[in-house]
Structure 1
Amino acid sequence: MCFCCTTELHPQHRSGITYSGCPSQISFVFNFAGLENCLLAAMAYDRYVAICHPLSYTVIMNARLCGRLIVFSLVISLANALLLSLMVLRLSFCTDLEIPHFFCELAQVIELACSDTLVNNLLIYVAAVLFGGIPLPGIIFSYIQIVSFVLKIPPIRRKYKAFSTCGSHLSVVSLFYGTGLGVYITSEVTDSPRKTAVASVMYSVVPQMLNPFIYSLRNRDMKEALRKLFDRTDFRVR
Structure 2
Amino acid sequence: MKTSDQTGSSETITSDEMRALEQAAIASGRVTGLELMERAGKGVVEAIFEEWPELVKDKRRAVVLCGPGNNGGDGFVVARLLEKAGWGVETFLYGDAKKLPPDARVNYELWLGRGGVSKIEVCYSYRWASHPVVVDALFGIGMNRPLPDELRNILMATLNCRRVAVDIPSYVSSDTGDLMCPWPHYTGQNQLTVTFHRPKAGHVMADGAQVCGKVVVKDIGL
TM-score by length of 2: 0.26
Name the one with the larger strand percent: 2
TM-score by length of 1: 0.25
Structure whose alpha-carbon radius of gyration is higher: 1
